[in-house]
């Protein structure tokens, strides 16, 4: 590794207490890891990426489908999920998104994200697993029911315990605009069963009898903060009825040499 990059990584490694907290609670917050200027560049990049993704949903190769009343459009390996009516065509999620803008692709290698992830994984050679943009537009953004990410991935990945996430918070987040929430310590249960409510996606939402909702923590954090979280932690968030956006990127890493979730290309981290 070149000495400049090694020094940059060293600046962002996890402290002993941070590592203990991540292991015990399944999440860790670093407030204001990115300053206002950096966040303004990233928000411009995500808006450009969202405009591009939206344009592609009208392209010749786009394939549209509806699950539980929510519209999804696949274009190549990129999936755009729209908000349910009446807010469709506002975009809820784009996955993957970072390949749609060079500044977002560069973010994947940023030591503020990757140094803690290397410590969480206990290895220096890491790769991208997936990444997404959750837009939660003012007055239109719907919530995310309580779920774990690991059950989504278990059929595509043989090392689902080794898929740590980092959320890059792009707007000040509070309960009022639907901030991210986790169930403290729920990652220790591994993959939990889903609900059996007869809906198409119900199996992906965690059976509420299998975790303690009283252990929920609302992560009210300023723009520029990072939230690292375990692939097994139960998490979700409320809607955004407020006048403020609540945008966030979530990037998921894995050990080096394995393909990404959707394109199946290998994207090792520099
Ligand atoms: O953005 C949020 O508030 C929740 C996101 C989430 O749960 C997910 O993308 O899996």
pLDDT per residue over 119-157, tens digit each? 999 999 999 999 999 999 999 999 999 999 999 999 999
Nearest to 128 by CA among 27, 255, 242, 1: 255
180, 219, 229: residue to mutate for ligand 1 pocket, most atoms within 8 A of CB: 180
pLDDT at 190: 95
**How deeply is 154 buried, as exposed, middle or buried, from its count of CB atoms within 10 A (0-12, 13-18, 19+)?**
middle
With a 6 A CB cut-off, is 126 part of the ligand 1 pocket?
no
Bridge partners of residue 266, in order along the sequence: 259
Indicate if ligand 1 lies below 6 Å from the C-beta of 236: yes
**147 HSE (CA, 13 A, CB side):** 17
What's the pLDDT score for residue 155? 95
User: What are the pLDDT digits (tens) for 10-63?
Assistant: 899 999 999 999 999 999 999 999 999 999 999 999 999 999 999 999 999 999
pTM: 0.97
Q: What confidence tens digit (pLDDT) does each residue in 164-223 have?
A: 999 999 999 999 999 999 999 999 999 999 998 999 999 999 999 999 999 999 999 999
Q: Is residue 8 predicted with pLDDT exceeding 90?
A: no
pLDDT for 106 = 98
99: its two tokens: 């390949």
Ligand 1 atom at minimal distance to the Cα of residue 181: 3
How confident is the prediction for the chain on average, in pLDDT?
97
H-run or E-run covering 213: none
Q: Is the CB of 144 under 6 A from ligand 1?
A: yes
Please give the Cα distance from 237 to 251 (Å, whole number): 17
- In the chain, what are the helix, strand and coil shares in percent, each to the nearest 5? 30, 25, 40
In this prediction, residue 1 carries a pLDDT of: 66
Question: How many C-beta atoms lie closer than 10 Å to residue 38's C-beta?
Answer: 17
The CA 3 to ligand 1 mean position distance, Å, reads 36
Does the CB atom of residue 252 touch ligand 1 within 6 A?
Answer: no
Domains, the chain, ranges and CATH? 3-255 (2.60.120.620)
């Amino acid at each position: 590794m070149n000495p400049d990059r090694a020094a940059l990584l060293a600046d962002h490694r996890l402290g002993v207490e941070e590592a203990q907290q991540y292991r015990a609670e399944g999440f860790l917050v670093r407030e204001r890891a990115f300053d206002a200027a950096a966040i303004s560049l990233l928000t411009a990049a995500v808006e450009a990426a969202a405009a591009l993704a939206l344009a592609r949903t009208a392209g010749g190769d786009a394939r549209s489908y509806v699950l539980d009343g929510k519209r999804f459009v696949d274009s190549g390996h990129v999936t755009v999920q729209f908000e349910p009516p009446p807010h469709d065509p506002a975009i809820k999620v784009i996955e993957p998104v970072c390949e749609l803008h060079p500044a977002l692709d560069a973010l994947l290698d940023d030591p503020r994200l990757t140094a803690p992830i290397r410590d969480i994984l206990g290895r220096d050679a890491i790769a991208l697993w997936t990444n997404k943009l959750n837009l939660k537009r003012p007055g239109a953004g719907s919530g995310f029911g309580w779920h774990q990410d690991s059950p989504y991935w278990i059929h595509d990945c043989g090392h689902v315990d080794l898929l740590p996430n980092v959320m890059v918070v792009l707007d000040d987040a509070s309960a009022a605009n639907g901030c991210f929430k986790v169930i403290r310590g729920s990652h220790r249960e591994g993959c939990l069963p889903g609900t059996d409510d007869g809906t198409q996606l119900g199996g992906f939402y965690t059976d509420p009898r299998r975790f303690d909702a009283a252990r929920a923590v609302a992560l009210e954090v300023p723009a520029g903060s990072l939230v690292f979280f375990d692939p097994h932690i139960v998490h979700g968030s409320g809607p955004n009825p407020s006048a403020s956006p609540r945008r966030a990127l979530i990037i998921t890493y894995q050990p080096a040499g394995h393909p990404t979730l959707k394109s199946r290309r290998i994207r090792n981290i520099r």
